[in-house]
Structure 1
Amino acid sequence: MKLASYRHGGADRFGAVVGTGIVDLGARLKDFATLRDAIAAGAAARLRAVAETASADHALAEVELQIPVTAPEKIWCIGVNYADRNAEYKDGSQPQSYPSLFCRTPSSLVGHGVPLERPKVSRQLDYEGEIVMVIGRGGRHIRREDALGHIFGFSLCNEGSVRDWLHHAKFNVTQGKNFDRSGSIGPWIVTSDEFDLAKPLELTTRVNGEIRQHDNTGRLMFPFDALIAYLSTFATLKPGDMIVTGTPTGAGVRFDPPRWLVPGDVVEVEVPGIGTLRNGVVDEA
């Protein structure tokens, strides 16, 4: 089942994507104001029952897709998580013992089809294709062997980075990761029952049709279950929280010379079984 948050007729809604249309679930299940509310209520079966019997209310082309959970409590981002990523830094360091972490704000992210903005203060906007876990059942001190049962579904992220702002301070990358509308999540959430999580997911990032990144989750240094167990050691995971699981080698900064995104570029992040997240690039107004 594909679930999306979207805007239509000036109103924020959520629904199920069926073919080239979308079923307005919020109009039929009025006890849920948002998709996050439905996730928190454990209402996947109710959502599916409506999605399988109702006709589409809108064509996908007629709506503006938003990030799938529009107001998550937490968006965790994992750095340097694919094999070979540590070597890209060419600093002689050993692979890390624990995940690298930072947070993003919802305002730094747009939905599928909405342009990313290259900020006025930088020309170093970069792409990072990633897979997103969406938490369904929350918890604290989640055991690794139980962790996959806490995943509601999966989405995609272009974790756009403004590279020359990543190290303005001594210890953090927060500034360069949180420019308004610099990244994206979407196009929707595909529920976890659609996947055999024993099999790796293949991730590809393209810029203007050219493959820049390609890898699979079998090469994650910290797999999905390990990330959930680790994060929940110190933070209570909540329904609708999103965990952006890391990007493969091949971001624009790693080319010589670097290949930054410019207005007119189109970035696509694709995973079979989830779909393709596509965004153009414009200059900040």
Structure 2
Amino acid sequence: MKLATFSSDGQMLWGAVADDGVIALSPDFPQWKTLRQVIEADALGTVLAAAEGRSPTHKNGAFRWEIPIPDPEKIICVGVNFPDRNAEYKDGQEAPPNMSLFIRFPRSFVGHETPLTRPPETPQLDYEGEIAIVIGKGGRRIAERSALSHIAALTLCNEGTLRDWVRHAKFNVTQGKNWDGSGAMGPWLVPYRGPDQIADIQLQTRVNGELRQDDRTGRMLFPVARQIAYISTFTTLVPGDIIVTGTPTGAGARFDPPRYLIPGDTVEVAAQGIGVLRNGVVDE
């Protein structure tokens, strides 16, 4: 069973996902305002058990999907994490010994089925399909051998990027990665069950049904356990933190000519065992 954050009639709720809707559980657990607080309390099992045998409180179409963790302390993204992505840079350099990282803000993401926003300042809105992990057990200097035990759940991310804005400065990508509503996350959280769930699963991105990105997590230059260990060396990870683990080759900027997103497009990010994150595109 999966957990999601959603809104209805101006109220933010969280609950369990059913085939034909969602089961609001947040009214039953007022001590936990968000799924981040559920994770902090190590209570994913408790709330999922409370959903057993219940019918949806909100049918499909009667609510809006929100990003699963609306209030993370940190969203840390890993760049250039597949072999072919490193080759795309055409700089003659081998994969670096350490991973490239940058920060994103929650406001830069929308939920499942909400359109991405292309701003008037640039038409270069691009897609990047990725798997994201949610930290369940915090820590500092986490050993790589035990790092996967710190995961609470998995979700999907379209790490939307305004390409020319990542080149506005000599040493900076922040402004190209944080436009309001330029990316998406969701639709839900899939509780983490063990290493096989993340070790070698297929990740794909389609634009208007056309396959653009297709790779497997087993080919990551820096596997998830390494990401957790490395990141926790310099910052304390806390429950609810999100690590966006990297995108395969095939983003729109790498075509000749580039194939950026335009209003009316539909982007789907899919991964085995997690689901499909789907978003349209609109102009601001």
Query: Normalising by structure 2, what TM-score?
Result: 0.98
Q: Secondary structure at the match of 1:120?
A: coil
Alignment gaps of 5+ in structure 2: none
What residue is the counterpart of 1:146 in the other structure?
146
What's 1:123 paired with? Answer: 123
Equivalent positions of 1:64-79 (< 5 A) are: 64-79=64-79
The verdict on how the C-alpha distance between 1:46 and 1:209 changes in structure 2, with shifts beyond 3 A counting, is same
SS in 1 for 2:87: helix
Q: Name the counterpart of 2:41.
A: 41
2:260 matched to 1:265? no
Shift of 1:51: 1.6
Instruction: Report what 1:222 is aligned to.
Output: 222
Q: How far apart in 2 are the matches of 1:194 and 1:63?
A: 31
Aligned-partner SS, 1:228: helix
Change (3 A) 1:198 1:257: closer
Match in the other structure for 2:242: 242
Counterpart residue number, 1:4: 4
Partners of 2:84 and 2:193 in 1: CA distance: 30
CA distance in 2, matches of 1:64, 1:197: 28
- Pick closer, same or farther for the CA change 1:219–1:231 going to 2, 3 Å: same
Per-residue Cα deviation, 1:23-57 (whole angstroms, up to 9, x for no partner): 11101112211111111000012112112132211
Query: 2:197 & 2:113 partners in 1: Cα distance?
Result: 28
Counterparts of 1:238 and 1:101, CA distance in 2: 18
- Measure the CA separation in 2 of the matches of 1:147 and 1:32: 26
Q: Deviations over 1:74-107 (max 9, x none)?
A: 0000000011111101111221110100000011
Determine if contact 2:126/2:260 at 8 Å carries over to the other structure: yes
Equivalent residue runs for 1:92-103 within 5 Å = 92-103=92-103
Q: Partners in 2 of 1:157 and 1:255 — Cα distance?
A: 21
Equivalent residue, structure 2, for 1:27: 27
For residues 121 and 156 of structure 2, what CA distance do their matches in structure 1 show? 27
1:162-186: CA deviations, max 9, x gaps?
Answer: 0010011111100000011000000
The one-letter amino acid paired with 1:148 is L
Q: Distance in 2 between matches of 1:108 and 1:30?
A: 27
CA distance in 2, matches of 1:25, 1:216: 34
Once residues 283 and 158 of structure 2 are traced to their aligned partners in structure 1, the CA distance between those partners, rounded to angstroms, is 17
Q: How far off is 1:198 after superposition?
A: 6.7
Contact 2:197 2:273 in 1 (8 A): no
| Unmatched segments (≥5 aa) in structure 1 | none
Cα separation, 2, equivalents of 1:161 and 1:221? 21
Report the counterpart of residue 180 of structure 2 in structure 1.
Answer: 180
Alpha-carbon shift at residue 199 of structure 1 (Å)? 4.2
Q: Which residue of 2 aligns with 1:207?
A: 207
Amino acid at match of 1:269: V
1:235-266 Cα offsets, whole Å, 9 max, x none, are 11111111000000000000000001000000
Aligned partner of residue 22 in structure 2, secondary structure:
strand
2-structure distance, mates of 1:198, 1:117: 30
Q: Is the 8 A contact 2:198 2:217 kept in 1?
A: no
Between the aligned partners of 1:182 and 1:216, the Cα distance in structure 2 is: 25
Amino acid at match of 2:128: E
After TM superposition, the structure 1 stretch with the greater mean CA deviation from structure 2, 71-80 or 84-93, is 84-93
Structure 1 ranges of 4+ moved more than 6 A: none
Residue of structure 1 equivalent to 2:276: 276
Structure 1 counterpart of 2:161 = 161
Counterpart of 2:73 in structure 1: which amino acid?
Answer: E
Give the number of aligned pairs. Answer: 284
- Cross-structure match for 2:135: 135
Counterpart-to-counterpart distance in 1, 2:173 and 2:228: 22
What secondary structure does 2:97 align onto?
Answer: coil
* 1:59 matches 2:59: yes
Q: Distance in 2 between matches of 1:82 and 1:254?
A: 14
Decide which moves more: 111-120 or 192-201. 192-201
